Structure 1
Amino acid sequence: MTGTRIDKWLWAARFFKTREQASKACDMNRITSNNLSAKPSREVRLGDMLRIKNEAGEFEVEVLALSQQRGSAAVAQTLYRETESSKEARRKAAEERKLLGPIAYAAAPSKRPSKRDRRLIHSFRGDY
């Protein structure tokens, strides 16, 4: 095998839980291959450099192996090698999130909203 679809490879390498999510990420320009925006059908080859943005962060990886099947996490990690600069950037981002501390959320209401409250909520959201 000389190449495989990028959405299948991203799914097999466990960057996304489903192939559909990988495909959407490509459509939203969150995946670049060799500094070019990647469409879901783009071929991935050995040695390609990919930049991947997902919920876990931003990864810059080199493709070491090809696969169209999703395997265990241990197998998935053998498909790529993350660059040192990418590891360092993700580590710094994690430290910054840790320093910010827990995000303050609004306290949950103690009772159900009244009819008037619901109307205000709906008008605020633009539902009516």
Structure 2
Amino acid sequence: MEEGAPFLRLDVWLWHARLARSKADCGALIAAGGFRLNRQPVTKAHARLRVGDVLTFVWQGEVRVWRVLALGERRGPAEEARGLYEEIPIAE
């Protein structure tokens, strides 16, 4: 990715994507481990997330792989949040 490309903190983006109720909860999920950003383990809430990045994590007992489509400017309704990413199916 370009160094000057726009980015958003991972915890803020997860909050925009409605993964948890608060930014603090998103930060705690990241700190607990289990998140990968472009295949690299990440435990820092301030990790830089850019459009095109791939996020891998376990959610509700299932491995999820999301490609970031947009950064988002706010925590909007669920329909808006679903537009921030696309789920990449995992081959079984």
Does 2:67 align with 1:34? no
Do 1:15 and 1:54's aligned partners in 2 also have CA atoms closer than 8 Å? Answer: no
Amino acid at match of 2:33: N
Do 1:65 and 1:80's aligned partners in 2 also have CA atoms closer than 8 Å? Answer: yes
TM value normalised by structure 1: 0.62
- Which residues of structure 1 form unaligned runs of 5+? 90-128
Query: How many residues end up aligned between the 2 structures?
Result: 87
| Identical pairs, percent | 28
Residue 23 of structure 1 aligns with which residue? 27
* Structure with the bigger percentage of strand: 2
- Which residues of structure 2 form unaligned runs of 5+? none
CA offsets 1:65-112 (integer angstroms, 9 cap, x no match): 002421000000000000121xx76xxxxxxxxxxxxxxxxxxxxxxx
Amino acid at match of 1:26: I
Calculate the aligned-residue CA RMSD, in Å: 1.8
Do 1:12 and 1:67's aligned partners in 2 also have CA atoms closer than 8 Å? Answer: yes
**Higher RCO, Cα 8 Å, sep 6+:** 2
Rg (Cα) greater in structure: 1
* Structure with the bigger percentage of helix: 1
